[in-house]
Amino acid sequence: MILGLALIPSKSFQEAVDSYRKRYDKQYSRIKPHVTIKAPFEIEDGDLDSVIEQVRARINGIPAVEVHATKASSFKPTNNVIYFKVAKTDDLEELFNRFNGEDFYGEAEHVFVPHFTIAQGLSSQEFEDIFGQVALAGVDHKEIIDELTLLRFDDDEDKWKVIEDKVRIIV
């Protein structure tokens, strides 16, 4: 079973992000807009309850986090991904660090860059055209997220789903 941990924003901000993703993100239908806290990791099916207990223990003492999407940015030249940058706060960093050590399914492969992906899988020309448009449109959205969402990858449907019976773990 493949799991991940993410902060999922309000419906209204999901709709704003999805207005770009529908056009520019080939992964649009696979997952809701989110800030990744723990990249995909694999567990045995029988370990799910234990993982949920570990997640609950690790989020103990972390307050709800403010998410402030501040501008369009990109991972270029590493890859042609465009995203809404989220201001990194101490609380966000602490949340990320609690789930990205050797003692919880391994360290993160990348430095923590909180963001909402809005475009990926682009050619260089597409990237240049789209990035200019998105940067001009801009973004300045703040909200408090008080739930850390545990997601499971559904191989049959080729998409990420909120674990229904354990829905959300309150931060």
Confidence of residue 166 (pLDDT cuts 50, 70, 90): low
Q: What mean pLDDT comes out for the span 84-90? A: 97
Is the predicted pLDDT of residue 131 greater than 80, yes or no? yes
**Residue 34 falls in the annotated catalytic set:** yes
Is the predicted pLDDT of residue 107 greater than 70, yes or no? yes
Cα separation values, 59 from 43, 70, 170, Å: 19, 25, 8
User: What rounded mean pLDDT belongs to the chain?
Assistant: 93
**Residue 141 falls in the annotated catalytic set:** no
- Of the candidates 30, 51, 25, the one whose C-alpha atom is nearest the C-alpha of residue 156 is 30
Q: What mean pLDDT comes out for the span 31-44? A: 97
Structural domains of the chain, ranges and CATH numbers in brackets: 2-170 (3.90.1140.10)
Q: Model's pTM, two decimal places? A: 0.93
Cβ atoms within 10 Å of 84's Cβ, excluding its own? 25
Q: What mean pLDDT comes out for the span 134-150? A: 93
